[in-house]
Amino acid sequence: MKSKMKNLKNGVFWSTKNISGQIINTLFVSYLSFYATDVLGMSLTMIATTLLVTKLFDGFTDIIAGFLIDNTHTKYGKARPYDWSIPFVAIFTILAFSAPNAPMIVQAIYIGVMYILANAVFNTLLGASDNVYLLRAFPEEKERNSVFGISTVFGQVVSLLMGMILPMIVKSAGVDQHKWTVMVICTTLPFAAIGMIRFFTIKEVVVDKAIVNNKTEKKNIEKVGLKDGINAIVKNPYLLILTGAVFVIVICSGFLNTSAAYYFTYIVGDLSKMSVISAASFASLAMLVIFVPLANKFGKGKVMKTGLIIALLGNIIRWIGGANMGTIAIGMGMMMFGVMPVSVYFPLFLIDIIDYSHWKNKKRVEGVLSVFPHFANKVAGGLSVSLAGFVMGAAGYVGGQEVQSEKALRAIELCFNGIPTILLGIIVVLIIVFYNIDKHMPEVKAFLAIEMEVSEEKEEIE
């Protein structure tokens, strides 16, 4: 009982960072494009190009962050100090939605710079360190799974509630620039403060020898170089498969989220009904609750594959139903339920992949492997926003018009339903055929247990 209460407490504390991050991410993914076109009056092609260009810089910083974390050794730990990125993400998010009254090109550059600082710099450091922090704060697998499961459910409930409220708040802001700035400040700052709770309550219990006051041990600490990082990536097929799954799912989600405001405005006919997406997403809570026990019984890979098949069927239902609110709700619920193992629980998959890499390459690489799917996540998010913008812009969408052309409406429908369904179908096939890491894990765990015993014996001799 005491252990369960401890896990519950740690799960709630661990969720605070994710709650903060999801709210801010929703603002960027779902509303930045809409803000630029319908509030500032920018062309959709211009903002899409701006977001696409930022991804070039974003990829560069992800790689640096991975090596930086692998070689960080402080008294607060290897990954925990990077939670101080949260306030900076919030500040630059506010600034991104506070564009000056200036020519369109100036506004585009301004938004691009703020987006880079929020996402390519500080959110990169935060995301790259997250899985390493989890592994070092909770090294015992059952405790880690329990804490992460609890944090995911709690965080998702809060985020879904905010997701239902946010469209109404956005609608009240209208197209007034000042109201948008106030709305983002009131949304972002409180959640940034909530996000910092994790730093002050969760400590890393796996301590690096490098932080002790011994110069010899600091010199002898094992460093992770470029060659080590490259080997860990290219010799790990499961990392590449998981990264591909994350990439495609985020692309699908980005297409859907970017086009949702347009879809509900011009096809459904009421932006406030966009809240149905968040309401339907409560179905995902079922997967969040049952994932850990099902994964313990059948293996994480099998649960992921089954979930993705359900998600694909949900997308098909939504596409067939069109603007019908019932099929939108059912389809969104099935999709959110099915993608949860990849989109939310992928850190647990990634820890298995890190252990597999350690077993296969005989060297521990954490930061670089952790940052790789995160890199895919962010690049895909930026690309999906840009690609959806390009598709709708090429079809003749004009921001601020009450009536859009038939061609523009078809493009909006394609971005919301068609493209996500086709892409998800491709990744479902790849995952089912090639992702079978579960069969290796008994041997991997046996190897790590032996290595741990050898390490402890050496420490006793020293």
What mean pLDDT do residues 217-228 have? 58
* Closest by Cα among 187, 148, 159 to 8: 148
Instruction: Give the highest mean pLDDT range of 59-63, 227-231, 350-354, 412-416.
Output: 412-416
First to last CA, the chain: 39
Pick the more confident residue, 103 or 213. 103
pLDDT score, position 409: 92
Using an 8 Å Cβ cutoff, are 134 and 354 in contact?
no
What mean pLDDT do residues 429-445 have? 86
Domain count, the chain: 1
List the domain range (segments joined by +) for residue 193.
14-202+223-461
Helices (H), 27-116: 32-34, 44-70, 85-96, 104-115
Query: What is the spatial distance between Cα 329 and Cα 9, in angstroms, rounded to a whole number?
Result: 33
Which tens digit of pLDDT belongs to each residue from 262-294? Answer: 898 899 888 878 877 767 767 777 787 788 788
Residues in CB range of 178: below 8 A, 6 or more apart? none
Which tens digit of pLDDT belongs to each residue from 153-182? Answer: 777 777 777 767 777 777 777 778 888 899
414 domain-assigned: yes
**pLDDT score of 326 more than 80:** yes
pLDDT score, position 208: 56
Query: What is the spatial distance between Cα 142 and Cα 10, in angstroms, rounded to a whole number?
Result: 13
CATH number (domain holding residue 319): 1.20.1250.20
> How far is residue 55 from each of residues 35, 72, 124, 410, measured CA to CA in Å?
19, 25, 12, 27
What mean pLDDT do residues 24-38 have? 80
**pLDDT score of 207 more than 80:** no
Eight-state DSSP code of residue 223: P
Min mean pLDDT across 305-309, 323-327, 396-400 is at: 396-400
* Owner of token pair 């469209």: 167
pLDDT score, position 213: 44
Pick the more confident residue, 316 or 35. 316
**pLDDT score of 382 more than 70:** no
What mean pLDDT do residues 296-309 have? 88
Pick the more confident residue, 20 or 59. 20
Residue 7 CB: number of other CB atoms within 10 A?
22
359 domain-assigned: yes
Mean pLDDT of all residues in the chain?
81
Instruction: Give the highest mean pLDDT range of 250-254, 264-268, 316-320, 450-454.
Output: 316-320
9 domain-assigned: no
Using an 8 Å Cβ cutoff, are 164 and 272 in contact?
no
Query: What is the spatial distance between Cα 352 and Cα 373, in angstroms, rounded to a whole number?
Result: 14
Tokens found for residue 258: 């970017």
**pLDDT score of 404 more than 70:** yes
**pLDDT band with cut points at 50, 70 and 90 for residue 211:** very low
2 domain-assigned: no
304 domain-assigned: yes
Burial class (CB in 10 A: 0-12, 13-18, 19+), 326: exposed
Which tens digit of pLDDT belongs to each residue from 80-104? Answer: 999 999 999 999 999 999 989 889 8
Phi, psi for residue 242 in degrees, rounded to 5: -60, -40
pTM metric for this prediction: 0.64
Phi, psi for residue 108 in degrees, rounded to 5: -65, -45
**pLDDT score of 43 more than 90:** no
> How far is residue 149 from each of residues 306, 351, 426, measured CA to CA in Å?
19, 14, 28
pLDDT score, position 197: 93
Which tens digit of pLDDT belongs to each residue from 328-354? Answer: 989 988 998 998 888 777 778 888 888
Residues in CB range of 451: below 8 A, 6 or more apart? none
Eight-state DSSP code of residue 9: H
* Closest by Cα among 62, 79, 63, 77 to 17: 79
* Torsion angle (degrees, nearest 10) of CA 206, 208, 212, 214: 150
3 domain-assigned: no
273 domain-assigned: yes
pLDDT score, position 152: 78
**pLDDT score of 215 more than 60:** no
Q: What's the count of helices (H) and strands (E) in the chain, helices before strands?
A: 21, 0
**pLDDT score of 425 more than 90:** yes
What mean pLDDT do residues 448-456 have? 65
Which tens digit of pLDDT belongs to each residue from 111-140? Answer: 989 988 988 889 888 887 888 888 888 888
pLDDT score, position 210: 44
Using an 8 Å Cβ cutoff, are 424 and 308 in contact?
yes
**pLDDT score of 47 more than 60:** yes
Min mean pLDDT across 219-228, 310-319, 323-332, 438-447 is at: 219-228
The pLDDT > 90 percentage for the chain reads 17
211 domain-assigned: no
**pLDDT band with cut points at 50, 70 and 90 for residue 456:** low
Q: What three-state secondary structure class fits 74? A: strand
Residue 293 CB: number of other CB atoms within 10 A?
12
